[in-house]
Structure formats: structure tokens, C-alpha cells
Structure 1
């Protein structure tokens, strides 16, 4: 046992005397030292809190104890049912005010709330809708009635359709259901991962026709940044496939146009809101593609990274890991940057699975073999001791998205999330939201709540929150000088938050 502890903490000698077997009652002083030593190793445990932070920490602990003793403990309940409980929590209200740093794992097509898409975008002129045979919807902006496409044989102008419908609010609610996973009965409607993922992918397809309309895309990025800033998030890295955008007359724009648009909107938003540092894109392709297609995508990403060095952060592969192709399957494509002597950082989704021992489960190790900069989700990392050790030594942070893991049925009670082990060991972690629009979520406060109250438990304190927020800057793709600037801005906001919360 002593040997395993030594390997885990890497500094065995100073602890040996604490573990010596004595006669009779163990020394209380030795026990206290052992408890403090273990606590210091958790996320934030090594930080020295100021007197003001200590006072706020004591207040937070009392509030957290109230949540944990409530009849329904929100992290133990499905998020769709827990959301109204969380909104009433004084802990959550404090977290909303807390400066959170950066959101490093957000998919661009699920950035903005479905309510805005329905209440704003679908009310714009020339918006057509089609109801498909599989109970899904498609949207398309066009200056004339669209031809049949995408399993759509009949397109209706939404303006005309709404004019015929008596209860517009109910109709709009039904549209939002097509753009999110929300349901009042998540366990009954989504009895398996297969079923929830099928609905998940349909929702992305439904939103695409709205988001990829060129005028909407500009507003969409700007609105997304607004929602993040409103939740005290100052920087974001979006996963995006850079889908081709279209104009009203059917003109198609390429990925270069999309990147330029993203760059322009980001610049305008940061000028309008100096508290927002900026945004970058991690170019993503679906793991359902073939090797030759991914090779072409990697080559294209290398070039786009050269052309837009301040916008393109790197490359990732997205889509459901279970049942999908592994990273190793794409090894020839993923080896191209090294073979070409090119720079293309990787930010791989890996370990978003509970299928231990499968080929997919090895994505964690393969991501590290390909020198991933961060690990998206890393849910399975706790079951891979070598990968866990390597990622820690290399400072490869895990992008923890607790609500996503729960909604997509990897874990039901967030107290049982494998990240509890990672947090107790002080593993590099950042908190993110994955697909907030799909979950009826905005910003990072809900995910911070679930991580802080549910996964971290009473052991997680204000130092935990501070380190998680700082980690989001530390492990971002920003160059060093911008990280320093961002950290200085964040620290001022943090000090103000602490003072205002006392």
C-alpha cells in the first residue's frame, strides 16, 4: 500500500513517518497532518486563500451544506429536472457572478440558445420550414420556394404557416423541442445512449439551416459571445466544422469566408465589449468520415492555420465515440502534420465513453500518442492509470463537461462522476459546457455548479473554483503574452467578486 501511495504522489519519503504502524490510539496530530496532506493535493488545495477569500469560502461551505441536505440534491437529479432547483440555489447565484475565465470546449453549432433561434431567427423574412418523415424539421432561407432536398418534399414559408396557426407560442415551443434535447421526462424519453444520441444529432441537423445562413451567422456569433459575457466568461474556443454558409439567392461561401466572418465579428465584439478577450476556432471533422477525407481535412486545416494563425487554434475529431471510428483508425491522416513538418495542434475528444476495454476506450492513450493539447471530456481517464499519469506529467488538461455527460447518459448521479477522482488528485482540469443550447443551458455557471457541488462535494472550496477558472486561461491556446493579459484582467475581476460577495 505504501508503495502504491508513493507512485501516486511521486514524493514518498516525507510521508513514510505518517504511515508507520503504532500501538494503541493513532497520534491525532499525525492524523491531522495526513488529512491536510491529502486535502492539499486536490484541485485548488495548494492555493493560499486571502483573509477575504477565507471568509467567502466559509460562507460558501455553509451554503453548499444547505444544498446537500435539501430533499432533492440537484447533482443527483437529471439536469432537466434539476435546473429549476439549481436556479434557486444561493451557491449558483454566487457562481453566476464569479469570473470564470474561458470556455474551452463548446461546439459552435450549439452555442446560442434555441429560444433566440426560434424567437428571432425563424421570424426573419424568407425562412422556410419542412417537416420530415422521421419527425424532424429542416429550415432554409430562400428568395423563392426551395426545391425538394434533405428528405423534404414540401417547404412552407414560416410566416405563412404562423399566420394560419392560432397558438403561436405553443408552435414556437414545439420548434424549440426540435432544437434541444429538453424533455420533462428524460429517463422515459431517452432510455438508452443510442436513443438520446439519435435525437442529439437530429437537433444539430435541424439547427444547421438557420445558423449557416450568412446574415444569421454574423448575428449568431455575436449573440453567442453576448451570452458568454453575460455569464462572466471572457474567452471562448469553439469546435466548428466550418460548414459552408449560404446567401438568400443560394450563393455558397467557403471556409475561408466563414473564418473571415468569425474574425470580423470577434474583433467588433471585443471592441464593443473590452471585458471580452476574444475567440478562436478548433477546426473539427466527424469521425464517420473515411481516412482519405480526413487526410484532406487535415491538409486543409494546416493551410487555414497558416492563413489565420490568430483565429485557428487547432484540429479535432467529433461525433459519438461509441460506435464511431477510433483515432488509431485515422493514424495515417493524423500523422500528416509531423510528416510535413507543419504546425497543427490537436484537441482530441477522447474517453467520452463508459465502454471500458473496447477499441474506443483506447482513444485516451492514442490522443496522448498524437500529442493532444487537451483531452475533450476524458470521462474514462480514471480507468487508465498510465494515461492519467502521462497527461498529468505533460500538463494535458481534461475538458470536463458534467451536464453533457449526464444528459448523454454516461452518468446519472454526478457524485459518481470519474472526475471526482481527478479533482481529488489535482489533475489538470477545466470546466466547460460542450453543447449548451442543446441542454437548455447558457454560459458556464450550471456546469460549474455541478462540478463544484456534485463532483467536488464538500472538499471542493473557493480555492477549487479559483484554480479551475485560472486553468481555463492557463490551458487555452492563447499565446503567452495574451494569457498574461487575460490573467491580469481575470484577477481584477476575481478580487472585485470576492469583495462584493462578503
Structure 2
């Protein structure tokens, strides 16, 4: 509060001095720069003596990256990844405790190498090849039934004995990710890249929904994020019906019980890990009747699994789906029935200004969302942006996803840069890192720190973003307090350890 009062006083004195004197004054200029620094993300964070030393060290690292012939945030991530991995800034960010990942999708959180090298080598795994040069997988005790527009199912173990194993596995990796050497040629527009993006999920579907793999996949996802120094994860999950080897289907209740069991088992192995919760999602292509049923199902799941179930959201491409306002009757059901169902809406993941979809950022607030996923369109709505600030509703910024899906090419031009300059509430997340060839959160933190934040972002910026991830999570007030305390201990150790090298 004291820092906000100081900011107000500085702004008021600066305005008075500018009105009274038309000639430029160096003191006025310094006051103006100080006022802007106070307003940006991290502007109110007071660094300790040790943190200031690390901040200077980090600043010098940043200058080196900015002086390189190719600045990673300015080029496509597929071309920048190897440059990022050689950066001292990136190495530091990997070691930095990052709090929570609050915007991650179920089938996009585990590196595809694990899926190919682990899951597809399990017994009873079959593959078929589609007419449009893609693949499908299924586990079955016997020969699976033929699938439309697909070749006959072949046992992978048998196929690997006949073909070059390395080439076959590499082809599976290509089908499970968007990565390509020439992304501009491969994905000339949003329609093409979104079609490929959604196809990758279909490829993974048969692998991940096999009940034993479903549990192992979640455990591996938590492990990969934890190894990237993430302490808590909120997963947007479709909760599709998993299946057994004899083709029997399990319920959504089974899936949530499985999630609970896996999280508990993971915490037993890694006691510092805080946990994970599920945001139940459905596709925004549903009609209103289907949406009503989905919201009712979400209310039931929230009632039956309050510890693991965080809330509800719509997923899928906004530009080709129904706008949030279309679903307003369904989304007011919890209030009508006296039930609390938190919302975490994707909104504003579009550059189609003036459309119904462009209004999703406004409607998300009117429907009382807890966070705004992506919020790419937020800066085009100044009134909505100010309302979000007053309501303390953060934007979940996922820069690599926005770049790969062709909303922005140079991340220095990402709208999140404006939000950071204004100190808008925000958190950093990675959306579907596995599909982009990334892991955890460090790559996205790098792009935010170097590209969106530019030379002005510093250790205070990073610290606020890390603390925001717990502050804006769905954890209880007590859990937030305890987690923040534990996180600050890890942060101080990170600072002292980094200064030794």
C-alpha cells in the first residue's frame, strides 16, 4: 500500500511540475522515469542487498544476449530454441524457483520423446496410418476393429521388426509435435497451424487415454515440471473416458480419482512439491444444450472432488468456436443453483478485432472468471483492461504458444509487453510445451524476460511473476500463505547459490 501511495504522490507532483514549467528539466525527466519504473511489473518489489548483486549479474547476462547476432525473441521459437538453450540467462532461469504453472493442457505437458520411447514400446500397442499421412494408436488385447480413413491396425512390436526403428520413431515424433525446420513455409497462416495443432492431439489421444498410460503420463508431466523448479500445477483437462486393454471404458470419476492418486504418490516421492489441481474443460464447439450438460457435470465433479477439481473452462480455437456470450445461460447455472463453480476462461486468444470472439475478454469478466487465459486481445479493450485490474483478474501469458500459433511473430511486439509496462496482474505459463518442443516453464520465462520485458525487466520483475503464480492460483488462502513462505525460502537459496558461481 505504501508503494502505491508513493506512486500516486510522484505522479501528482510530476503533473504539477509539468503544468507549471514548459521547459524540459532533468529532474522532471528522472521523476518521470522513476514513475514508470514504479508502475511496471516488479516496480513495487524491494530487493535485498544480495538480490541487487544478482540483479546486476543478470543485467550483464541480458546485455550479452541482446548483443548477439540473432535475438531469440525476435525469431520463431523453432529457430530460437537452440540459441535460448546456450544462453546463460536461460540457465539461470532454469534454476530459478518458478512457483506455479497455471495454464497447461493435459495432452501437451509431457515431452513427446517420452511418449514415443516409453509408451509406444509397451506391449499390445497398435498403430494405423491415416489417409492424410498421420497416425493413430490404440492398446488392445486382440486385433482392433478397423477405423474409418485408416489402414489396418498393425502391432507396433511387429512393425518395428520390419522397418527402420529410428526412422519410424522419428516419424511418430513429427506427428506428435508442431516442430519443423521451416515454420513459415510449413504454417503460412493460422488456419494451417491450428489444423496441425489439433491433429497432434488426435495422434496422442489413443496413447494417453489408455488407463495405465493415463496415470504414468500425469506422473511424468508432474516430474518434468518439477525438474524445471515448478512447485504446483493447474491442468486444463478434457477428462476423456479412459479405456482398458479389453476396451472397457472408465468414467470421469475414475479419471479424477486417478489424478488424486497420482498427485498423492508424486508428493510422497517429492515432498517439496505442493500439488496439482484439474480445471475441467470442454470444447467451445458445443451447442447450448451440450454446454448446459457440461456445466452441470462440472458442478457435480466439483462437489464430489473439491480437493482436486479447481473449476471449468472452454478450450479450442476461439476464432472458430462459439463466443462466451453464447454460453451465458449455461454459465449462470451454478449461481441459479446456489453452487460455486470457479471459471478460468480462455479469452482474447485472437487478433480478429471487433468480432464477437474479440469480446470474450469482456464477457469473461462479466461471467466472473478467476483468470483470463492468454488475453492477447486485452490491450485493444482499455475499459475492460482497467476493469480487470480493479477486479484483480490476471492474464495468463503464454508467449511461445501465441508465437507458434501465429498471433505474433516478434515477441517484442507481444501485447503482454504493454501489460508488463503497466503492471497489469499477470502470470506466465506454457500452454502446450510438448507440442512446441519446450519443457516446463523456463523457455516461456526467458521469452517474457528478454522479449516482452526488454532491458527494463529485472530480478524484481521475475520475483513478482513467480509470487503471482501462487497468489492467483486456486489454492486456499492458507495454502497460498504457506506455499508463498516456502517459495521465498527457496528463492533466497536460489539467490545466494547463484551468487557463488
Shared fold by TM > 0.5? Answer: yes
Match in the other structure for 2:74: 76
Match of 1:319 among 316, 319, 335: 316
Contact 2:10 2:31 in 1 (8 A): no
Which sits farther off after the overlay, 292-301 or 28-37?
28-37
Match in the other structure for 2:91: 93
Q: Does 1:398 align with 2:395?
A: yes
Match in the other structure for 2:170: 173
Match in the other structure for 1:219: 216
Match of 2:404 among 404, 407, 417: 407
Note the C-alpha offset of 1:9. 7.4
Match in the other structure for 1:444: 441
Match in the other structure for 1:33: 31
Structure 2 counterparts to residues 79-228 of structure 1, below 5 A: 79-165=77-163, 167-228=164-225
Aligned alpha-carbon RMSD (Å): 1.3
Contact 2:379 2:419 in 1 (8 A): yes
Per-residue CA deviations over 1:455-498 (Å, capped at 9, x if unaligned) read: 00011000000000000000000001111111111111100000
d(CA) in 2 for partners of 1:9, 1:324: 42
d(CA) in 2 for partners of 1:79, 1:16: 42
Secondary structure of 1:473 counterpart? helix
TM-score by length of 1: 0.97
**Number of corresponding residues:** 493
Note the C-alpha offset of 1:148. 1.2
Q: Does 1:19 align with 2:24?
A: no
Q: Does 1:306 align with 2:303?
A: yes
Structure 2 counterparts to residues 188-337 of structure 1, below 5 A: 188-337=185-334
Match of 1:357 among 354, 357, 379: 354
Note the C-alpha offset of 1:11. 8.8
Per-residue CA deviations over 1:133-158 (Å, capped at 9, x if unaligned) read: 11111100000010012533410100
Q: Does 1:457 align with 2:454?
A: yes
Note the C-alpha offset of 1:10. 11
Gaps of at least 5 residues in structure 2 are 1-6
Note the C-alpha offset of 1:23. 5.0
Per-residue CA deviations over 1:234-293 (Å, capped at 9, x if unaligned) read: 000000010000000111001000000000000010111011100000000000111111
Note the C-alpha offset of 1:19. 2.4
Contact 1:75 1:82 in 2 (8 A): yes
d(CA) in 2 for partners of 1:220, 1:15: 56
Contact 1:18 1:34 in 2 (8 A): no
Note the C-alpha offset of 1:22. 2.1
Secondary structure of 1:245 counterpart? coil
Gaps of at least 5 residues in structure 1 are 1-7
Contact 2:470 2:483 in 1 (8 A): yes
d(CA) in 2 for partners of 1:9, 1:181: 47
Contact 1:114 1:180 in 2 (8 A): yes
Match of 1:480 among 461, 468, 477: 477
Contact 1:102 1:473 in 2 (8 A): yes
Decide whether aligned partners of structure 1 residues 18 and 213 sit closer, same or farther in structure 2, where only a CA change above 3 A counts. farther
d(CA) in 2 for partners of 1:191, 1:400: 24
TM-score by length of 2: 0.97
d(CA) in 2 for partners of 1:90, 1:225: 25
Decide whether aligned partners of structure 1 residues 9 and 455 sit closer, same or farther in structure 2, where only a CA change above 3 A counts. farther
Runs of 4+ in 1 over 3 A off after TM superposition: 8-15
